[in-house]
Every structure is written in structure tokens, then in C-alpha cells.
Amino acid sequence: MKRLSYGIAGIAVLIIAGLLIYRSLNASLVYFILPNEYAQQPGEYQGRRLRLGGIVETDSVRFDNESLQLTFMVTDSLQRYPVHHRGSPPELFKENTGVVVEGSFNDGVFISDNLLVKHSEVYEPPPPGESVDVEALKDSLQ
Amino acid sequence: MVDLSLGQLGSGSILLALVLALYAAVTGMAGAWRRDARLLTSARLAAGAVFLAMTSAVLVMEAALLSDDFTVKYVAEHSRIASPVWVKVVTLWAALEGSILLWGWLLTGYTAILAVTAPNSTLRPWALAIMQLAQIFFIGVSALVANPFSIVPNPPLDGPGPNPLLQNHWMMSVHPVLLYLGFVGLTVPFAFAMSALITRRPGSEWMTLTRRWTLTGWGFLTAGIVAGGWWSYEVLGWGGYWAWDPVENVSFMPWLTATAFIHSVQVQERRRMLKAWNVLLITLTFALSILGTFLIRSGIISSVHAFGDGPVGPVFLGFFLVIMVSAFGLIALRWDQIRDRAELDSVVSREGSFLTGNVLFLAMAFAILLGTLFPLIVEALTAEKVTVGAPFFDQVTLPIWLLIFLLMGIGPLLPWRRAEEQSLKRNLAWLAGAFLVSGGLAFALGMRKVYPLATVALAGYNFTSLGLLITGALHPRIRLSKRSPVAIFKSYAFENRRRFGSMIVHSGVIVVALGVMASSGYRVDEQLRLDFGTSVPFRGYDLTAVDRFMERTPGRISAGVVVEVWQRGRLVTTLRPRTNVFGQNPQTISTPAVLYTPKWDLYLNLASSIGPDQEFVVIRAVQSPLITWIWIGGLIVALGTAYALSPQTRQHRTVRGEEAART
């Protein structure tokens, strides 16, 4: 009898713990996506924490000295989105380099609180006019 | 005479060590099987020879590093002429092949010490044989899979140097060694546990014999993890020390199972219960340390400090599977002998609280494992790339920690078997009072966040528990003796090293908890624009960037700003955050500057480049309350562990056997 009740109690605890873990795991998953993936189903990613990868578009970088706000366009050459990042550009940040920003979308603008520069040797930006291999881009940024 | 290169000498040493280790393992097992004393003695001597051969390999590697011998692959890939001497020395463990060589060397050292010092018992032959099997794995990986001594046909004139992150702080020379000493130390109780199963002696003998090894290993692992946190704090530049990065998680999981093990062995020693559980815990501890190496080194999980991929990962995975299958096979084979026959008398007892605590430690380890592996599972199932954010780990571990702190206060106050109602009620009243008073005080002082409030309340509760434990132990002694209370306290602390050491460790844990709570719950993190010569307020300080500087040392170029820190019109200190470039590596590494104070740290990190024509810099300023107490608490834990391990004076040594059964 004692054994049985211990067993039932144990299983109940496990089930509850499992549910709790699953819920918080699901809530804290951070998806790594490219701009075109966001464009396909913006509803699914709305308000979620994301890691958005892409290339910093040429002539799009602005840094406001007063508010310390960095804005630029991130692109995978299929889609482009504006990024607002609070903080000054990191040392290796420049146009046409790979970046990964972490944050979430708000009305089509990506609000970032973490900016990583990926100076990957694998990925070469394509010459103008040619399309990029999106999968290769994603792998090089990961 | 043949002129040997360092690479050949090193490879030769490792091969010699491998041959000797194979000989030692085969002779040891044959001797254990046939109970042949001569074979066993030969195996023990061979353990010393293996250690000497590995020592020679390590010395050759150091010689190659210090003499910039770029014909040796490891040196060519990870060292650089311009590095300072200490960086060259620690480059031994700055990359994968060298780390495995170091791990293997430490393991052979422990095996040799064990072969010489372990008392002659029925368990010793198989325990040594298992240590020797484990060292074959590490030496074998060094010799065949990741040989650091491979010879480069066209040696470069100079190498790239170690990972810039690793040459940026002296802590890097300490942290990995501490971790490996921890992992290797915990191999000893695992070997003895397996030996106990093989020889059908699943009593508490194996854990009594290895108690010092277990505690030593645990102490080093703890120190290694805390040191790693401090390294992150001083190097990574975001003002934190723990990011739930896979590399951190995989060192933390064996720590959790080892901590559970340290507590549950006492239940077996006292109550002859939990035999199978203890074997399981030490197996998991050992296996998780190997699994961790696989996860990080195989490149299947991306991590801040991944060493990259290679053939080493699968080999470690294979070793992990071998350990799990053979250990669980043995457990199944001996199930009849290790099954618990005694039942728990009451949950409200010392063993009840230890068991509950054990379940919590294991649940936390499991949740962390799940969080660490989840990205792999998701990617395998859906091809989506995900990471599990820090919020998951916080949400899961914080409540478990609070429950553990709750048990940590009440558990040691409960007697074995069954608590007596009257003393239980009195103790509970004290504890509840302390919980409410300290929690209320924190609330009155303006704290409103749930976890920090609970942590403060539990800290008061736990310190009261320690007070009750000490007064409870001293009270009868003071009544019966004419000596002064101070003298009685001294002799109590002196005679009960294990018990008193555990109290020191627990108090250190509370100090760490307070530091973690305050620094993460009340951290202020801002980007500040500092115009040269103009002061900017930040959390009661006035920060003024007065100058910029440039430093060139051999192998490093640094640029930074001089920031004066003023408080109420008084100059407190001058901080010099900087960024560094090491050699040809384009990566810039920042070195934050920290003002350490007991109340909070002021942490400044350069967030922008410093051009000569630019009239301002951007600084990341972080204020973390009580964060220094994490390092102090870690030190208290280490000292408490050392105290529990310190040798008894002569007159007490004679009664150690009895004491083992008593405490």
C-alpha cells in the first residue's frame, strides 16, 4: 500500500514537472531565422524573442551620437527589415558583413538588444545582381 | 646517436604510456581475477611508470611551447613567439589536444597516487584496474585520435597564438586545471563503486575508502566552476558571470550529481540504504563529465568557447556509451545485492531530507541536460534552428534552488530515522521566525521581487539553522565541562572536522546565493556616452573620461580610455577599460575595468571604438550589487572543504574508524 502511494505520488510529481518544463522550454525557445523566413509567417514570430541573421545593407547604417541608437537594414537579399539597436556599433561592425541580432519584431522593426558580428570566412557576399544561396548564408551565420 | 625531435619524443612518450597502461590494465585485471599478488604488484608499479611516461609527454610539450618549436602541430596551431612565457605555459590547455593530454596526465597521476597510497583491500585491485582502463582511453585518444605531437612537414615561422579570449586573463591558467582535477578526482569513487559491484561487496566500504577523494574532487570542481564564472566576469564584457552556455552547463551537471552523491553516501553509511542510488549517482557524475566533453568538443552544440569539431567528439560519445552500458549492466547483474531492504521510517528525518534533496539535485541536472540538448532535438525533428534562452534555465532552476535551501536549513537539524516531535517543533519555530524576520526586513528595506525576497528570507533561516546546530552541539558539552565556552567550541570544531567543515561549506553556499540573487535581481546596465572632460552621472557616481591611451606589449596592442570615478566630490578611483588585439587575429577582445566594493561593483566596458579624432566614447556601465560575495562565498566553500579534509591530529586518528560510522 505504502509502495503504491509513493509510486503514484512520484508519477504525479513527474507529470507536473514535465508539463512545467515543457511549457517554459517552449516559451524560451529562441528561433534563428533570416528576414525571408520572417516574411513568410510574421504572425507566428510576432512578439517572440528571435535571433535574426543577415547582411548589413550598404548605405543603411546610421548612428545617433545623442541617443546612442544604431539603425541599419538587415537583408538576406530576398527580404529586408530595419533594425534598431541601442548601443554603439561594435568594433568589427561594417556594411556588407554578416550579423546576428537578438530581440523581437515590433511593427515590422526589429528591436535588438544584442548584436553579434559574424566575420565568417565561409560566406562570401554575392556580386550585385546575383541571388544568394539562403541556406549557405544561414549556415555561415549560425 | 639519433637526433630526436621534440615531436618524436612526445609521440614516443605517449606511445610508451599507452603500452604501459595496457600492460597495467591487463595485468591488474588478471591479478584481480586470479588473486595473484605478484601480478597485482606489477600492475601497481606499472601505474607509476605510466605516470612517468605521461609526465615526460607533458614536459616535452611544455618544452616545445617554450622553445617555439613549430614542427610540433599543436605548437604551430596554438602558440606564438611573441606571447609572454605564462601564456606559452598555459597554452598546454588552451586547445583540445593539449587539454586531453593534461586530463590524461592528471588521471595517470591520480592512479599512481592511488596505487601507492590506497590501503590494501579486496576492492583495490579492481578499482585500480578500472582507473587504468579509463586512462587507456585518454592516453589512447592522445596517441591515436588527437595527437598534439604530430609533426608539421613545412613548419610555419610563427603561429597564430591561442584563442585571444584565453590569453586575456591569468584566471585562464587556473580554471581548466581545477575543473580537470575535479573530474579526475571523482573518477576514483566511480572506480571503487564498480569494484564493489564486481567483488560483490556493495556495503559502504567503497565510499568510506574514497571519501577524501570524493570531497577533494568535489572541492576542485566547485572551485573550477566559480573560477570560470569569475573569468567570464572579467573577460566577456557584459558584466555577468553565467549565461547558461552549454560549456557552463556541462560542467555544472556533474557538479549537481556529485553534490547529491556527497549527501546520499551519508545515508548509506548510517542507515545501509540507497546502495543502488549511490552507485547510480557516481556513475552519472563520471559519465556526465565525459558526455560534456563530447557535447562541447564535437561541435554539435554551438557554444561560446567551442574548440571546433573533429574526430574527438564521436570517440568521447563512444566512451560515454561504454561507461553507461557497462555500469548499468553491472548494476543490473548485482541488483539482488544492492536493492534496498530497509524502508524509510519517516520522511521527516535526516535521511528523508537527504533523499528529497537528492531528487531535487537530480531533477535540476535533468532539466539542464534537457535544455542543453533541446536545440539538437528540435533541429533533428523540424530542421528549425533554435537556442534555449537563459529564461528557461532560470525558471526551472530557481524554484528548485529555493527548495534545496529550505532543506539545507532543516535537514541537518533532523535526527536520523525519525524526528522527535518536541525538538522538531522548537527548531521549526526558530527557523520560521528567522525566515519571517529576515524576509520582513528585506521587504521593509524596499525589496519587492519574489526570488530575491525569498533568498534573503532563506538566508536568515539558514544562518539560524547553523546557529541552532552549533548551540545544540555545544550546549550539553558546556553543561558537563568546566572549560570556557570558547575552548569547548574550539575542541568541537577541531574534533568534528567533517561536520564543522560542512557547516562552513553551507554558510559559503548561502553567501554565494545572496550574491547571485542581488547581482542578477538588481543589476543596472546602461550605455553611456562620455564626452572627454565632461562628467556623466551613473548610480551615485560621476564618471569623467579624461584621456585615451595606447599600450604595446609584445604580442598585444591595447587601446583604452582613462575614466575618473567620482563620488560626492571625491575621486574614488581611476578605471581603464580597454580593447586588445592579439597578433594577427582580427578579433578585438575587450578588457573591462571593475571597481570592486563590498556593496556593489562598478563595471565599465568599452562599447565603441576610440578614434583619435573622436571627442567621445561609449561605455557600457554595469552596477551589480553584492556580486563580489559570489567569489568570497566560493572561497568559503573551498576553505570549508579543505577544513573537512584536513588531517586529524594524532590522538584522533586512532578513532577515525569509529568516527566514520558515527558522523
pLDDT in tens, B569-585: 999 999 999 999 888 77
A34-66 pLDDT, tens digit per residue, is 999 999 988 888 888 999 999 999 899 998 888
Instruction: Measure the CA–CA gap between B202 and B439, rounded to whole angstroms.
Output: 45
Give the domain-ending residue among B124, B151, B167: B167
CA dihedral B378, B383, B384, B389 (to 10 degrees): 30
> Does any CB of chain A come closer than 8 Å to the CB of residue B614?
no
Are B128 and B194 part of one and the same domain? no
Inter-chain CB proximity A30 and B395 less than 8 Å: no
Could you tell me the residue ranges of all domains in chain A?
Answer: 30-117
pLDDT of residue B363: 92
pLDDT of residue B524: 96
> How many CB atoms sit inside 10 A of residue A48's CB?
13
CA A131 to chain B, closest CA, distance in angstroms equals 23
pLDDT of residue A35: 93
When pLDDT is cut at 50, 70 and 90, the band that residue B608 belongs to is confident
> How many CB atoms sit inside 10 A of residue B567's CB?
12
Q: Which residue has the higher pLDDT, B113 or A137?
A: B113
CA B113 to chain A, closest CA, distance in angstroms equals 43
Instruction: Measure the CA–CA gap between B314 and B321, rounded to whole angstroms.
Output: 10
Q: Which residue has the higher pLDDT, B589 or B47?
A: B47
Are B341 and B268 part of one and the same domain? yes
Question: Using CB atoms, which residue from B302, B387, B588 is nearest to A30?
Answer: B387
Can you give the C-alpha Rg of chain A in angstroms?
21
pLDDT of residue B655: 44
pLDDT of residue B384: 83
**Residues of chain B numbered 330-389 and touching chain A (CB < 8 Å):** 343, 363, 367, 370-371, 374, 378, 384-389
Half-sphere exposure of B492 (CA within 13 A, CB side): 21
From chain A, the residues in CB contact with B392 under 8 A are 24-25, 27-28
**Residues of chain B numbered 136-195 and touching chain A (CB < 8 Å):** none
Q: Which residue has the higher pLDDT, B383 or A84?
A: A84
For B121, the 3-state DSSP assignment is coil
B404-441 pLDDT, tens digit per residue, is 999 999 999 998 887 788 888 999 999 999 999 999 99
pLDDT of residue B281: 95
When scoring A3, A4, A30 by the number of chain B Cβ atoms within 10 A, the one with the most, hence best to mutate, is: A30
Residue B227 has pLDDT above 90, yes or no: yes
CB B307 within 8 A of CB B96: yes
Among the residue ranges A131-140, B62-71, B499-508, the one predicted with the least confidence is A131-140
> How many CB atoms sit inside 10 A of residue B342's CB?
10
Q: A3 to chain B: nearest residue by CA?
A: B343
Residue B306 has pLDDT above 70, yes or no: no
Are B157 and B220 part of one and the same domain? no
pLDDT of residue A1: 62
Residue B589 has pLDDT above 90, yes or no: no
Query: pLDDT > 70: what percent of chain B?
Result: 95
Residues facing residue B22 across a β-bridge = none
Are B152 and B228 part of one and the same domain? no
Task: Give the domain range for residue B511.
Answer: 411-521+630-662
Among the residue ranges B237-241, B496-500, B552-556, the one predicted with the least confidence is B552-556
Are B121 and B60 part of one and the same domain? yes
Opening angle at CA B107, ends B44 and B152, nearest 5:
115
pLDDT of residue B126: 96
Query: pLDDT > 90: what percent of chain B?
Result: 71
CATH of the domain at B79: 1.20.120
Count of domains forming chain B? 4
Inter-chain CB proximity A68 and B586 less than 8 Å: no
Inter-chain CB proximity A31 and B384 less than 8 Å: yes
Q: Considering only CA atoms, which of B415, B433, B436 is closest in space to residue B424?
A: B415
Instruction: Measure the CA–CA gap between B72 and B560, rounded to whole angstroms.
Output: 36
Inter-chain CB proximity A68 and B395 less than 8 Å: no
Inter-chain CB proximity A25 and B388 less than 8 Å: yes
From chain B, the residues in CB contact with A92 under 8 A are 586-588
What mean pLDDT, rounded, does chain B reach? Answer: 90
Are B47 and B128 part of one and the same domain? yes
Burial profile B211-246: b = 16 or more Cβ within 10 angstroms, e = fewer: bebbbbbbbbbbbbbbbbbbbbbbbbbbbbbbebbb
B446-490 pLDDT, tens digit per residue, is 999 999 999 999 999 999 999 999 999 998 888 888 888 899 999
Residue B194 has pLDDT above 50, yes or no: yes
Residues facing residue B383 across a β-bridge = none
When pLDDT is cut at 50, 70 and 90, the band that residue B300 belongs to is low
Q: What is the mean pLDDT of residues B380-403?
A: 90
CB A114 within 8 A of CB A101: yes
ipTM: 0.85
pLDDT of residue B299: 63
Question: Using CB atoms, which residue from B387, B395, B588 is nearest to A92?
Answer: B588
CATH fold for domain A30-117: OB fold (Dihydrolipoamide Acetyltransferase, E2P) (2.40.50)
Are B621 and B647 part of one and the same domain? no
Q: Considering only CA atoms, which of B33, B64, B336 is closest in space to residue B195?
A: B33
Are B95 and B242 part of one and the same domain? no
Question: Using CB atoms, which residue from A2, A88, A138 is nearest to B618?
Answer: A88
B136-149 pLDDT, tens digit per residue, is 999 999 999 989 99
Inter-chain CB proximity B385 and A142 less than 8 Å: yes
Among the residue ranges A24-33, B22-31, B175-184, the one predicted with the least confidence is A24-33
Q: What is the mean pLDDT of residues B56-78?
A: 95
Residue B383 has pLDDT above 90, yes or no: no
CA B629 to chain A, closest CA, distance in angstroms equals 28
pLDDT of residue A120: 52
Query: pLDDT > 90: what percent of chain A?
Result: 30
Are B490 and B377 part of one and the same domain? no
Are B425 and B516 part of one and the same domain? yes
pLDDT of residue A117: 85
pLDDT of residue A129: 60
Q: What is the mean pLDDT of residues B68-95?
A: 92
Q: How many residue contacts between A and B have a Cβ separation below 8 Å?
A: 69
Inter-chain CB proximity B385 and A31 less than 8 Å: yes
pLDDT of residue B661: 44
Model-level pTM?
Answer: 0.93
Residue B44 has pLDDT above 50, yes or no: yes
